[in-house]
């Protein structure tokens, strides 16, 4: 039985309809390939990524608007985001400043086809008002959304996005929080990350990798125009 | 009847998928031009037929493509579905065959008009004109990893995972035309821009697979491998290079900036054996190491390449998944040897040379030979190389430890085990991306990775017995004073992977070394929490000291020529280098490729002597 493929099996069984479970012991080797036990899931990789990594929790923007994390902020978008908190005296100010420079370099694409978010790790303290003040202080300008929410939702988001430390003591220390930026293209499932303190000009080039073109640094014969340089 | 209703369902499903794709594209507000760039739209304005944005599409073979999240034994990671152990055969590599000619013929300058993605001219093409030509294609394939799992839409060289094995010879330069036909739709992870690194060829920068010299889907790239010994243009011109720098076991893998871990995990890797008049592949000549033979048959091939990788499969779809939302390192819970989960190999009662490679992405291994009928036995074998470079003499060992990208050639004499069954068992405990815990498990407590049954009939063995202590190459001298000593600290600052506090940047060569000079690099890990297999491209180094001590071969081999430093907790490794023969940019990076993709990498550059800007400072 081990080496039979589904087509052979159908022949042997006299064209019995493919009922779930009937063929579970049949090997996946051969032309048909897929074991029937894996046929009926109905979920795309994109849906699985959303389920596993982008909990659709309700957040509040620094402008007081309620938004759903996946539906409103991630789905169908090219995004750049990080985790921070307003009274962070460690890496946050430098990273926020860097993101401001990234935003400036990306120009009018921000808010049009690239979306920027900063999510607080101290939602108890960082009310929309506090975040609005933080955004003003950093000259964040329009189209860069600062987000707060229920502490348990933020924690879930942080865990699912992997902004964690495997050492539980360090993980609990907010001053040691992960200073990476996440960037990606949700419909294309292109996800990457880079340090928030990397050179902003280079961060912009890295974001360029998920825009769907390759404008740098190795312009070849089919180099594309209009990308981020 | 059953067939008709099946066909109707299929059509219905395809219509539904096409609609869904269109809706998603509209919702994504992608412009026509952007869609064309993404490879989703043909120039005629039609949606690419089989695959849209939704990954609930099918590949050309009709198999579902999906994937998503996961990561195995880590958080956010359901375990893989069960698979039966040791029910499928171990498979050898396919040997890559050359072509008579390439069309268009290779050019020194990049042939951008013909679709080449290269931008830098070959620097050694005239000096080492290619004598053999190869053509290879990277594309999505359908890979059978285990009969209990569906075929996998992995990314392949020539439709295979691992890709084919190149059989190369010193003194025989080759050129490989490397086509990128990978799809935009990745099924959950992977990026269809590539740069193939030959780890650790003595290769000019423009052919090395430098992470910033990547090329797009639809393009090709001619990679020129001179297959020359280090010193060929510098210290050993008369001898045609330093024979003591000869390398044996190399591998190739994708090195795409920010996406190496995804692309290699998805299948873009293979191996490359380099022979010469000593390490001949024929056990009746040279060093008399076990014969490569035809490379494929049980009765002829005793020089066997083995790549070890660990993968997670989605419990619902049965397809390979990767947690791309992980900065620490990704571990799998299924262990593959040459792309097969838990395979069985049958061997003759004679000596074999196994070429072991850890392809990662993040796991370290320590391999022992386990005999379940005698767990107390010490089953010794001989390690003959570190990082694929033959040592002066074989070293008798009970185990070999490998970090990601490390290779070890070993000789195992199965004549003493005739009729028995053995396992290559990984006994090194590792529970997350930080590296191994340090705990080496007891016999049969680890993961039995390859089952070996010594049940093939006796067969002639003309290979050298490593117990007679044969001599291979001497170690190159390492006493001449370095031009400079530099320190590199591999660090984690607020979760950001750094070298000396700074991050990967394609536009900045942080270290400039003078062509044909000697340097000492002290590679340091000041952390007790993380380990980093650090790889430096281009030339092999030797340890001068590890943690202030002269390196030894007991209990694990440290002496030899290396290209990976398995930087363990709080380790300080003093390494000695030369940078000979070619100029250009190369990286140094952590080969836990998840760390590499998150900027634990720097660019260094070999500069012609006398060029201003050759820095002698610590970067």
Encode B40-54 in three state secondary structure.
CECCCCCECCCCCCC
Give chain A's end-to-end CA distance (angstroms, integer).
Answer: 57
For B328-357, what is the mean pLDDT? 97
| Domain termination site, one of B14, B33, B54 | B54
pLDDT at A155: 97
Residues B436 and B363 in one domain: yes
Interatomic CA distance for residues B224 and B340, integer angstroms: 31
> Please, which pLDDT band fits residue B74 given cuts at 50, 70 and 90?
low
Retrieve residue A173's tokens: 């220390």
Residues B524 and B433 in one domain: no
For A140-162, what is the mean pLDDT? 97
pLDDT at B221: 98
pLDDT at B290: 98
A189 with B214: Cβ contact below 8 A: no
Q: What percent of chain B has pLDDT over 90?
A: 84
A206 with B87: Cβ contact below 8 A: no
B325 with A160: Cβ contact below 8 A: yes
User: Cis omega before residue B361 (within 30°)?
Assistant: yes
Interatomic CA distance for residues B160 and B180, integer angstroms: 14
Residues B450 and B544 in one domain: no
pLDDT at A95: 97
Retrieve residue A206's tokens: 């890295």
pLDDT at B75: 65
Q: Answer whether residue B436 is part of any domain.
A: yes
Could you give the count of Cα atoms lying within 13 Å of B269 in the half-sphere of its Cβ?
28
A180 with B150: Cβ contact below 8 A: no
Residues near B155 by beta carbon (within 8 Å), at least 6 away in sequence: B138, B139, B140, B141, B161, B182, B190, B263, B266, B267, B268
pLDDT at A4: 35
B496 with A196: Cβ contact below 8 A: yes
Which residues in chain B touch residue A217, judged by CB atoms under 8 angstroms apart? 212, 506-507
For A69-94, what is the mean pLDDT? 96
CB distance A78 to A113 below 8 Å: yes
Q: Between the CA of residue B495 and those of A91, A166, A167, A178, B571, what are the distances in Å?
A: 11, 10, 11, 5, 20
Residues B444 and B518 in one domain: no
CB distance B271 to B320 below 8 Å: no
B386 burial class (0-12, 13-18, 19+ CB within 10 angstroms)? buried
Q: Answer whether residue B279 is part of any domain.
A: no
| Domain termination site, one of B411, B438, B468 | B468
Name the strand (E) or helix (H) holding B15.
helix B2-27
CB distance B472 to B390 below 8 Å: yes
Nearest Cα of chain B lies from the Cα of A62 at a distance, in angstroms, of 25
List the one residue out of A177, A205, A199 whose CA is nearest residue B503: A199
For B211-236, what is the mean pLDDT? 97
Nearest CA in chain B to A36: B150
Which residues in chain A touch residue B314, judged by CB atoms under 8 angstroms apart? 48
Nearest Cα of chain B lies from the Cα of A130 at a distance, in angstroms, of 24
Could you give the count of Cα atoms lying within 13 Å of B419 in the half-sphere of its Cβ?
1
pLDDT at A2: 36
Domain around B601? 484-607
Residues B371 and B331 in one domain: yes
Give chain B's end-to-end CA distance (angstroms, integer).
Answer: 72
pTM of the model: 0.86
A209 with B598: Cβ contact below 8 A: no
For B515-528, what is the mean pLDDT? 95
Nearest CA in chain B to A177: B494
CB distance B526 to B492 below 8 Å: no
> Please, which pLDDT band fits residue B610 given cuts at 50, 70 and 90?
confident
| Domain termination site, one of B421, B444, B468 | B468
Instruction: Choose the closest CB to B325 out of A53, A195, A205.
Output: A53
B147 with A43: Cβ contact below 8 A: no
Which residues in chain A touch residue B112, judged by CB atoms under 8 angstroms apart? 220-221
A18 with B2: Cβ contact below 8 A: yes
For B531-554, what is the mean pLDDT? 97
Residue A116 clears pLDDT 50, i.e. is over it: yes
B307 burial class (0-12, 13-18, 19+ CB within 10 angstroms)? buried
Nearest CA in chain B to A14: B2
pLDDT at B387: 97
CB distance A128 to A62 below 8 Å: yes
Residues near B251 by beta carbon (within 8 Å), at least 6 away in sequence: B198, B199, B269, B270, B271, B272, B307, B357, B359, B405, B407
A191 with B213: Cβ contact below 8 A: no
Three-class SS of residue A36?
Answer: helix
Which residues in chain B touch residue A162, judged by CB atoms under 8 angstroms apart? 76, 323, 325-328
Domain ranges of chain A: 1-40, 46-208
Residues B492 and B460 in one domain: no
pLDDT at B200: 86
For B474-481, what is the mean pLDDT? 94
Return the minimum-mean-pLDDT range out of A152-156, B56-60, B321-325.
B56-60
> Please, which pLDDT band fits residue B41 given cuts at 50, 70 and 90?
very low
Which residues in chain B touch residue A19, judged by CB atoms under 8 angstroms apart? none
> Please, which pLDDT band fits residue A113 given cuts at 50, 70 and 90?
confident
Nearest Cα of chain A lies from the Cα of B66 at a distance, in angstroms, of 4
Q: Answer whether residue B354 is part of any domain.
A: yes
For B234-243, what is the mean pLDDT? 97
Name the strand (E) or helix (H) holding A194.
strand A190-195
Residue B605 clears pLDDT 90, i.e. is over it: yes
pLDDT at A175: 94
Q: How many residues does chain A have?
A: 229
Q: Between the CA of residue B570 and those of A139, A179, B530, what are the distances in Å?
A: 42, 23, 9
Q: Between the CA of residue B81 and those of B325, B334, B360, what are the distances in Å?
A: 21, 9, 21
Residue B48 clears pLDDT 60, i.e. is over it: no
Which residues in chain A touch residue B117, judged by CB atoms under 8 angstroms apart? 218, 220-222
B188 with A189: Cβ contact below 8 A: yes
Residue B112 clears pLDDT 60, i.e. is over it: yes
The 10s digit of each residue's pLDDT in B395-435 is 999 999 999 999 999 999 999 999 999 999 999 999 999 99
Domain tally, chain B:
3
Strand order in the sheet with B601-607: B509-514, B601-607, B584-590, B532-536, B564-567
CB distance B374 to B363 below 8 Å: no
For A102-126, what is the mean pLDDT? 96
Cα dihedral sign, A5-A7-A10-A14: negative
pLDDT at A127: 98
Instruction: Choose the closest CB to A220 out of B33, B112, B148.
Output: B112
Q: Answer whether residue B426 is part of any domain.
A: yes
State the CATH number of the domain containing residue B326.
Answer: 2.60.40.420
Interatomic CA distance for residues B529 and B432, integer angstroms: 11
For B32-47, what is the mean pLDDT? 42
Return the minimum-mean-pLDDT range out of B22-36, B59-73, B197-211, B489-503.
B59-73
Q: Answer whether residue B169 is part of any domain.
A: no
pLDDT at A212: 72
Interatomic CA distance for residues A73 and A210, integer angstroms: 17
Instruction: Choose the closest CB to A191 out of B34, B317, B324.
Output: B324
For B206-213, what is the mean pLDDT? 97
Interatomic CA distance for residues B468 and B466, integer angstroms: 5
> Please, which pLDDT band fits residue A218 given cuts at 50, 70 and 90?
very low
CB contacts < 8 A, A to B, total: 264
User: In angstroms, what is the C-alpha Rg of chain B?
Assistant: 24
A223 burial class (0-12, 13-18, 19+ CB within 10 angstroms)? middle
Residue B147 clears pLDDT 70, i.e. is over it: yes
The 10s digit of each residue's pLDDT in B98-109 is 999 999 999 999
Strand order in the sheet with B447-453: B88-89, B343-346, B447-453, B421-426, B365-370, B399-402
Q: Are strands B269-275 and B166-169 parallel, antiparallel or unpaired?
A: parallel
pLDDT at B316: 86
Q: Are strands B320-321 and B303-313 parallel, antiparallel or unpaired?
A: antiparallel
Average pLDDT of chain A is 81
For B460-474, what is the mean pLDDT? 98
Residue B229 clears pLDDT 80, i.e. is over it: yes
Buried b (16+ CB within 10 A) or exposed e, B575-597: bbbbbbbbbbbbbbbbbbbbbbb
For A192-216, what is the mean pLDDT? 88
pLDDT at B238: 98
DSSP state of B288: -
Residues B451 and B489 in one domain: no
Q: Answer whether residue B499 is part of any domain.
A: yes
Q: Are strands A58-61 and A144-149 parallel, antiparallel or unpaired?
A: antiparallel
Q: What percent of chain B has pLDDT over 70?
A: 87
A18 with B61: Cβ contact below 8 A: no
What is the third-level CATH fold of A46-208?
Glutaredoxin (3.40.30)
Q: Considering only residues B614 and B95, tell me which one the structure prediction assigns the higher pLDDT.
A: B95
Q: Are strands B155-157 and B132-140 parallel, antiparallel or unpaired?
A: antiparallel
For B274-295, what is the mean pLDDT? 98
User: Could you give the angle at the alpha carbon of B307 between the alpha carbons of B214 and B573, nearest 5°?
Assistant: 75
> Please, which pLDDT band fits residue A213 given cuts at 50, 70 and 90?
low
> Please, which pLDDT band fits residue A39 given cuts at 50, 70 and 90?
low
Interatomic CA distance for residues A176 and B254, integer angstroms: 32
Residues near A99 by beta carbon (within 8 Å), at least 6 away in sequence: A80, A82, A116, A118, A144, A181, A196
- Count of CB atoms within 10 A of residue A42's CB? 11
Interatomic CA distance for residues B226 and B171, integer angstroms: 8
Residues B415 and B314 in one domain: yes
Name the strand (E) or helix (H) holding A135.
helix A128-137
How large is the ipTM? Answer: 0.86
Q: How many residues does chain B have?
A: 619
> Please, which pLDDT band fits residue B153 given cuts at 50, 70 and 90?
very high
Q: Which of A75, A155, A195 to mutate to test the interface with B (most CBs of B within 10 A)?
A: A195
Three-class SS of residue B140?
Answer: strand
List the one residue out of A176, A191, A99, A107 whose CA is nearest residue A138: A99
Which residues in chain A touch residue B598, judged by CB atoms under 8 angstroms apart? 180, 193-195
Residues B453 and B327 in one domain: yes
For A122-137, what is the mean pLDDT? 98
pLDDT at A131: 98
DSSP state of A189: T
Q: Answer whether residue B75 is part of any domain.
A: no
Q: Answer whether residue B107 is part of any domain.
A: no
Nearest Cα of chain B lies from the Cα of A66 at a distance, in angstroms, of 21
Give the helix ranges, DSSP H, for B519-592.
none
pLDDT at A14: 31
């Amino acid at each position: 039985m081990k080496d039979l493929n589904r087509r052979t099996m159908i022949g042997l069984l006299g064209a019995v309809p493919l009922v779930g479970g009937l063929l579970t012991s049949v090997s996946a080797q051969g032309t048909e390939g897929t074991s029937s036990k894996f046929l009926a899931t109905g979920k795309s990789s994109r849906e699985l990524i959303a389920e596993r990594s982008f909990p659709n929790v309700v957040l509040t923007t620094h402008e007081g608007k309620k938004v759903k994390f996946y539906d409103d902020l991630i789905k169908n978008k090219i995004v750049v985001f990080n985790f921070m908190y307003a009274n962070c005296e460690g890496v946050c100010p430098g990273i926020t400043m860097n993101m401001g420079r990234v935003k400036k370099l990306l120009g009018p694409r921000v808010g049009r086809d690239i979306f920027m978010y900063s999510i607080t790790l101290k939602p108890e303290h960082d009310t929309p008002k506090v975040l609005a003040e933080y955004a003003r202080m950093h000259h964040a300008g329009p189209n860069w959304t600062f987000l707060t929410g229920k502490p348990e939702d933020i924690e879930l988001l942080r865990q699912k996005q992997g902004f964690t430390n495997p050492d539980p003591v360090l993980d609990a220390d907010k001053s040691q929080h992960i200073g990476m930026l996440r960037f990606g293209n949700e419909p294309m499932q292109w996800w990457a990350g880079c340090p928030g303190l990397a050179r902003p000009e280079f961060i912009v080039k890295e974001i360029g990798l998920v825009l769907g073109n390759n404008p740098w640094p190795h312009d070849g014969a089919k180099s594309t125009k209009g990308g981020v340089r | 009847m059953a067939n008709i209703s099946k066909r109707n369902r299929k059509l219905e499903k395809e219509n539904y998928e096409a609609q869904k794709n269109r809706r998603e594209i509209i919702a994504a507000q992608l412009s026509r031009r952007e869609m064309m760039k993404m490879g989703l739209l043909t120039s005629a304005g039609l949606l690419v037929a089989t695959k849209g944005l939704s990954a609930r599409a099918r590949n050309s073979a009709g198999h579902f493509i999906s994937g998503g999240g996961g990561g195995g034994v880590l958080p956010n990671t359901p375990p893989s579905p069960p698979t039966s152990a040791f029910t499928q055969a171990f498979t050898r590599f396919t040997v890559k065959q050359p072509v008579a000619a390439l069309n268009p013929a290779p050019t020194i300058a990049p042939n951008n008009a013909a679709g080449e993605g290269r931008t830098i001219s070959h620097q050694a093409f005239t000096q080492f004109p290619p004598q053999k030509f190869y053509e290879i294609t990277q594309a999505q394939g359908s890979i059978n990893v285990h009969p209990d799992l569906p075929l996998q839409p992995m990314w392949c060289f020539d439709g295979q995972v691992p890709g084919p094995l190149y059989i190369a010879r010193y003194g025989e330069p080759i050129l490989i035309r490397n086509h990128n036909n990978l799809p935009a739709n990745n099924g959950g992870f992977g990026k269809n821009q590539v740069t193939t690194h030959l780890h650790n060829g003595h290769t000019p920068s423009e052919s090395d697979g430098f992470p910033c010299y990547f090329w797009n889907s639809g393009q090709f790239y001619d990679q020129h491998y001179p297959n020359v010994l280090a010193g060929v243009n510098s210290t050993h011109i008369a001898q045609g290079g330093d024979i003591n720098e000869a390398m044996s076991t190399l591998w190739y893998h994708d090195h795409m900036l920010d996406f190496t871990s995804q692309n290699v995990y998805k299948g873009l890797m293979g191996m490359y054996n380099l022979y010469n008049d000593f390490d001949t592949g024929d056990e009746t000549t040279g060093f008399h190491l076990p014969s490569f033979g035809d490379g494929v048959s049980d009765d002829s091939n005793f020089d066997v390449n083995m790549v070890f990788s660990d993968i997670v499969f989605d419990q619902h779809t049965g397809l390979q998944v990767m947690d791309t939302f992980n900065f620490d390192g990704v571990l799998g819970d299924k262990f593959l040897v040459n792309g097969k989960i838990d395979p069985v190999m049958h061997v003759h009662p004679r000596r074999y040379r196994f070429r072991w490679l850890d392809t990662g992405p993040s796991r370290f291994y320590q391999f022992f030979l386990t005999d379940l009928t005698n767990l107390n036995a010490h089953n010794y074998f001989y390690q003959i190389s570190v990082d694929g470079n033959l040592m002066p003499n074989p070293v008798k060992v009970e185990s070999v430890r490998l970090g990601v990208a490390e290779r070890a050639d070993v000789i195992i004499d199965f004549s003493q085990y005739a009729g028995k069954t053995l396992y290559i068992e990984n006994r090194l405990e590792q529970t997350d991306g930080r590296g191994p815990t340090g705990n080496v498990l007891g016999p049969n407590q680890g993961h039995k990775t390859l089952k070996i049954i010594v049940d093939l009939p006796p067969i002639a063995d003309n290979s050298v017995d490593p117990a007679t202590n044969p001599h291979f190459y001497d170690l190159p001298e390492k006493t001449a004073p370095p031009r400079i000593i530099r320190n590199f600290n591999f660090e984690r600052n607020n979760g950001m992977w750094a070298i000396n506090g700074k991050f990967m940047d394609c536009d900045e060569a942080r270290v400039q070394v003078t062509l044909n000079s000697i340097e000492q690099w002290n590679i340091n890990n000041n952390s007790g929490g993380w380990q980093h297999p650090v790889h430096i491209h281009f030339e092999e180094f030797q340890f001068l000291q590890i943690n202030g001590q002269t390196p030894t071969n007991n209990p694990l081999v440290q002496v030899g020529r290396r290209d990976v430093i398995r930087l363990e907790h709080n380790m300080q490794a003093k390494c000695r280098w030369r940078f000979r023969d070619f100029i250009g940019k190369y990286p140094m990076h952590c080969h836990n490729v998840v760390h590499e993709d998150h900027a634990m990498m720097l660019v260094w550059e070999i500069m012609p002597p006398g060029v201003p800007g050759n820095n002698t400072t610590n970067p």
